[in-house]
Amino acid sequence: MCGIVGYLGLKDAREIIINGLKRLEYRGYDSAGIALKDCDSNHFSVFKDKGRVAHLESITDYTFQSCLGIGHTRWATHGEPNQVNSHPHNSAKGRFFVVHNGVIDNYKELKSTKLKETVFESDTDTEVIAHLIERYSYKMSVSEAIRKTMSLLEGSYALAIIDTEDPNHLYACKNKSPLLLGINDDGIIIASDVMACVGYSTQYVPLEDKTFVEIDGASYTIKDIIGKEVPHEIKTIDIDYFNIEKGEYSHFMLKEINEQPAVIRTIINEYFDGDKVILNGKTSEAIAMSDRLYIIAAGTSMNAGFIGRELFEKMANIPCEVHIASEFAYNMPLLSKKPLFIFISQSGETADLRAGLVNIKAKGYRSLTITNVKTSTLAREADNFVEIHAGPEIAVASTKAYTAQIVILAILAYGLSDKHIDLRKELSKVAISIENIIDKKDYIEQLVKEYLTKRNCFYIGRGIDYYSCLEASLKLKEISYIQTEGFAAGELKHGTIALIEKDTPVIAIISQRSINKNTRSNLNEVKSRGAKTLIISTRSIHESDDQIVIDDVFELFSPLLTVIPAQFIAYYAALERGYDIDKPRNLAKSVTVE
């Protein structure tokens, strides 16, 4: 993970880097650091510490002008988050500063073979990079030294590098971790994500793996690892500045929960012409040609994948499997004859998914990415991609991307379905029903105060509701730190019911008539053992004491509604406990390490 921002130009490097890092904090927020050159002297200052970018801002010296710098916000992989392990890292003689996103797999080997005499300050894998570049810079040009170092590194890296002896240049390179250039007449930004460039650049250049960039004021050269110039594409930044601000909301998560009806309407506008679905022909063809779909995803996107499986199998009669990306990458199941691999990822950068994509591509299989970030690695590298149009999702806990993913999966499944529903109308109904739930958020906050009083909690459901329970429980545990499990309601009695004691909160999701009675009898079993039960059900099957009743929609779309109270439950449980809702501990939004 980690976020990188670097700048060389005529503007205030400190402002661009600090603001950029704030926008990249979703990538990690264990520590932050910046190296800046004083415009009036050749002096470089480094400020870095454990903690957030706001803390970095408070310890940074604002008394000098700077037009060259590199900054970093960290999600720790090697070494605890402390001042010494924070980036930038400096080379042994102090000539080079380096910030890094990624993991160097062979750093121990490099230490023991190439850097035997070097004294290391930190526990990081990154420090070897700074030392290696310096070591090679004695024998060759800096560009060659960086490329030589790249050739030795195994693993993933996006790097921004300053040579303190040549402040007219800034260097960058990458392999597997994302990196791009934000370009402008008065300077160039290096960043992990285009969001860092919004407001400063209107165009950007995404960088390919194993490329090296030399920036010289307003111009740049992109080369491959052997130093040959490579062609590149300049793209327009089309992110609206207001979409990446909180506006009237106290948290991004609350804003993003509230945006869900609008997101569904945007998807309808994007993918419908009247009542007809308009999709890239190749996408529909790829699905239709396959004999089995393999959904590969992680976290919330995987939970959306489970709903997708129900949609593909029940609407379109296509067999579908869902795989945990990190397992699939190195332990592939027996495959069908004509598989299609569907990678679902909000960020489009999740390393576990990319490892799987690389594997199946090497075997010649077809792939489709469903993502929120059309410029992402997974979108670029799959055969086809479908954009979910959720708009930037900033809160670490995914909300609107989940509903958007399900809506897209419904549209894909519908394309092959013989079910005659008016999809546009049904999805519009879902958007209105979500608004009805949003109107009840204060009431849900009260329920949270009454019911979520313990350190643990269970969500139970059957069929498609069970998959909603998986997402509901992930949401609750990741931001409120309440230990929560999503359970198939009928499975509790086979062991886990032993954990139920007086006042254990058990939340049931019941949206399917066919399993209504069964789930309710499982609820009785836990109630009689002291559990405090809270029920989310649909109007047509609700009972008088169910606490949260939602509208009836096309049954397979009910997960789009049942998740909304669950998102609010998680939000208010975290708010009640005073936690940092948008940046929960130990997590990062974009998980670019395996």
Using CB under 6 A as the criterion, which residues of the chain lie in contact with ligand M6R when the complex forms? 298-301, 345-347, 350, 353, 396-398, 474, 478, 587, 591
Q: Which is nearer to ligand M6R, 299 or 565 (CB)?
A: 299
Q: Which is nearer to ligand M6R, 137 or 403 (CB)?
A: 403
Please indicate whether residue 589 is annotated as part of the active site.
Answer: yes
CB 191 within 8 A of CB 201: no
Backbone angles phi, psi at 155, to 5 degrees: 125, -150
Please indicate whether residue 2 is annotated as part of the active site.
Answer: yes
DSSP 201: B
Q: How far apart are CA 353 and CA 328, in angstroms?
A: 9
CB 306 within 8 A of CB 321: no
Give the other-Cβ count within 10 Å of 368's Cβ.
23
Q: Which is nearer to ligand M6R, 189 or 395 (CB)?
A: 395
CB of 3 to ligand M6R, least distance (A): 15
The set of residues, in sequence order, having a beta carbon less than 8 Å from that of 219 and lying 6+ positions away, is none
CB of 439 to ligand M6R, least distance (A): 24
CB of 391 to ligand M6R, least distance (A): 14
Q: Which is nearer to ligand M6R, 387 or 478 (CB)?
A: 478
CB 326 within 8 A of CB 352: yes
CB of 343 to ligand M6R, least distance (A): 8
Q: How far apart are CA 557 and CA 55, in angstroms?
A: 44
CB of 255 to ligand M6R, least distance (A): 15
Q: How far apart are CA 166 and CA 147, in angstroms?
A: 17
Which entry of 2, 67, 197, 320 is annotated as an active-site residue? 2
Q: Which is nearer to ligand M6R, 91 or 346 (CB)?
A: 346
CB of 156 to ligand M6R, least distance (A): 15
For the chain, the first-to-last Cα distance in angstroms comes to 10
Which three-class secondary structure state does DSSP give residue 296?
A: strand
Which entry of 22, 37, 48, 589 is annotated as an active-site residue? 589
Burial of 534 (0-12, 13-18, 19+ CB in 10 A): buried
Q: Which is nearer to ligand M6R, 125 or 478 (CB)?
A: 478
Residue nearest to ligand M6R (CB): 299
Q: How far apart are CA 388 and CA 371, in angstroms?
A: 6
Give the other-Cβ count within 10 Å of 227's Cβ.
12
Where in the sequence numbering do the catalytic residues fall? 2, 589
